[in-house]
Amino acid sequence: MLSCAIDMFGERPYAAVSTAELAQRAGVARGLINHYFGNKRDLYLAVVRRMVTLPRPEKMSVPAGPLRDRVDASVSWLLDTIGEHGSTWVKVTGHEGVGDDPEVQRILDEADYAAADRMVAMMGLADSLHSAELRALVRCYGGLVKAAGREWIVRGSLTREQVHHLLADALTTLVAETFAKVDANS
């Protein structure tokens, strides 16, 4: 059911998805969707949670080596995560779903914090004295990630490789130059 909902919310806007059609596509009774998910909004929230759920930290390997190797590994991991459900990821992270919903925003904010934590850890900087500031910078970088994901997945104006270069260059600059300036002013 959740897999079908992920596909359907990726194919069309929230308002155009009906639980009756979803049940038919999933091959289940409509009541079963209500039993497991409640209403359509609750099902959508489950889709949002699934789209922004990251691998658990113990399932991730922290790359070694120079900064650029760690950044490239972080960006590859990020693009793999985005690419898994492409258009659905773009829609739920871009507020194209149910509009200005505080619960959706809370889920997205939690995901942004978790993603920043994971990226900082993957770059080997989690124990930095000013890691809170670095995490904030990486959360700002998240806006670029979402825009680049849209260009790659929705518009097709950039390839994955081009997006990788853009995001890796930006993250390298953020960590090597911008963070150093923030760290020096703290």
pLDDT of residue 172: 92
pLDDT at 101 over 90: no
Does one domain contain both 71 and 131?
Answer: yes
Does one domain contain both 13 and 100?
Answer: no
Per-residue pLDDT band for 144 (boundaries 50, 70, 90) equals: very high
Does one domain contain both 81 and 119?
Answer: yes
pLDDT at 17 over 70: yes
Does one domain contain both 82 and 172?
Answer: yes
Q: How many domains does the chain have?
A: 2
pLDDT digits (tens, 9 = 90+) for 68-99: 988 898 888 889 888 888 888 888 887 665 56
* Structural domain harbouring 16: 2-48
Does one domain contain both 28 and 70?
Answer: no
pLDDT of residue 132: 83
Does one domain contain both 74 and 161?
Answer: yes
Sequential DSSP letters for the chain: -HHHHHHHHHHS-GGG--HHHHHHHHTS-HHHHHHHH-SHHHHHHHHHHHHHPPPPGGGS----SSHHHHHHHHHHHHHHHHHTSHHHHHHHHTT-SSSS-HHHHHHHHHHHHHHHHHHHHHTT-TT-TTHHHHHHHHHHHHHHHHHHHHIIIII-SS-HHHHHHHHHHHHHHIIIIIHHHHHHT-
